[in-house]
Amino acid sequence: MIVLKFGGTSVGSLENIKKVAAIVCSIKEKKIVVLSAMSGVTNTLQRISNLLLDGNIDSAKHKIDNLHIKYQGVINGLYNEKGIAKKANELINQHYNLLLSLLDTCYSSKIQKIILAQGEIISTNLFQLYLIEIKHNSKLISALDFMIIDQNNEPDSLSIKDKLLKIVSNQTKADTFITQGFICKNKNNEVDNLERGGSDYTASLIGAAVGATQIQIWTDIDGMHNNDPRYVDQTFSIEEISFDEAAELAYFGAKILHPQSIIPAMESNIPVLLKNTFKPDAKGTLIHNSANVKKIRAIAAKDKITAIKIKSYRMLMAYGFLKKIFEVFEQNETSIDMITTSEVAVSLTIDNTSRLDNIIQELDGFGKIEVDSDLSIICIAGNIAQNKKGVTAEIFNCLENIPIRMISYGGSNYNLSFLVKTSDKVAVLNLLNEGLFEQTISEKISLLN
């Protein structure tokens, strides 16, 4: 069995829903299809919920009306058979009435979760009705019947597996199951969710539960690129990457994949294929444990980084100093990303500066504090094991004229990161692309000619 997950853009319009259906129908294996809400819908539902919280009922009603109109437009264009269009309209009206009825209730987080769940429930129902119209045998299964989170809001893998396997094995006639991403039930049997962007996580959890042979994540880009196409011209999509390397890149805005989502797939050793709904013939990127070893796989950057340097002669040969510094960050609920130390100073970076003033105040007693902002972390992912010669030279030789503020190397075998001024970022990404990928790029160009 394989699992296919289509994101919001993939089901974002009636034309795209048809494209998704064509992909689903072209895959012969038994499959579970996980869908997001149509793009923008969860944001709108979130706004409706915020308006309710603020007691702004008229604006909330206005937004619900607009959603209703949007869905009616989709239904008008999607179905040819009158009977199916009628069913779809009934379904939409039912959800519209549900949302309207919530306008009169007392707002609570329970109500908020019910509102947020509507996007995925509607998209999966509309999609399944379309499969009925094009005569593709499928079965809609509700994620609320098997996707369970425990008291710590963590997926309860055993229950998920148990419930899902029962549901699937009771349906011997269906080869295609459709279900919702993102939504789940909590330990109180209330509607809940796996947090924004959680549909990838759903797909990964389902893959692990059914022991899928592959999990496919369909988005609107051709998998992961070797560098950031927004700043570098000659980038290419990576054909394969290891889980370790993909995990290193996840933090760096490799937005294509929700960072947490990869964990169940990785633990169950299930390959994850990233594909483009709008270019289904493109190879995409396969994340798996036996990816061929590449010295340098990809480069990514993250902006809005702030570096904090704490310099103190008391640190010399002392123990417990770092612990005290880390405690300041822990108390301020701020995560540290990069860290480098010398005998008398420690530099670290953060990307959330909401508590920076507090942090600086609390660090003041430890030594001299310097803060630099407008920095970017550049991450190089690959098989950069420390026992190999020449890798670091190869990287830094490309950057002769760029001032580097911090370097982090040796934390893992798959990552080397360094910190530069954001104003140098584009130059750095381009210099590294030329220096590290020149050969691959010219091979790819010669294949095209």
- Rounded distance between C-alpha atoms, residue 370 and residue 367, angstroms: 10
- What is the gyration radius of the CA atoms in the chain, in angstroms? 25
* Nearest-approach distance from CB 325 to ligand ASP, in angstroms: 35
Q: How many residues does the chain have?
A: 449
Q: Which is nearer to ligand ASP, 4 or 441 (CB)?
A: 4
Helices (H) and strands (E) in the chain, counts: 13, 16
Q: Which is nearer to ligand ASP, 118 or 235 (CB)?
A: 118
Range list of β-strands (E), 157-210: 176-180, 183-185, 191-193
* Nearest-approach distance from CB 348 to ligand ASP, in angstroms: 31
Q: Which is nearer to ligand ASP, 119 or 155 (CB)?
A: 119
Name the token pair of 111. 């109500």
| Collapsed DSSP state (helix, strand, coil) of residue 381 | strand
**275 φ, ψ (degrees, to nearest 5):** -130, 160
For helices 57-78 and 109-133, angle between their N-to-C axes, nearest 10 degrees:
10
Q: Which is nearer to ligand ASP, 8 or 382 (CB)?
A: 8
* Nearest-approach distance from CB 261 to ligand ASP, in angstroms: 9
CB 382 within 8 A of CB 298: yes
* Nearest-approach distance from CB 244 to ligand ASP, in angstroms: 24
* Nearest-approach distance from CB 266 to ligand ASP, in angstroms: 19
**348 φ, ψ (degrees, to nearest 5):** -145, 160
* Nearest-approach distance from CB 274 to ligand ASP, in angstroms: 14
Q: What angle do CA 275, 178, 161 make, to 5 degrees?
A: 95
Q: Which is nearer to ligand ASP, 123 or 433 (CB)?
A: 123
Q: Which is nearer to ligand ASP, 220 or 244 (CB)?
A: 220
Residue closest to 109 by CA, chosen among 205, 188, 203, 197: 188
Interface residue list for ligand ASP (CB under 6 A): 7-8, 36-37, 42, 119, 181-182, 196-199
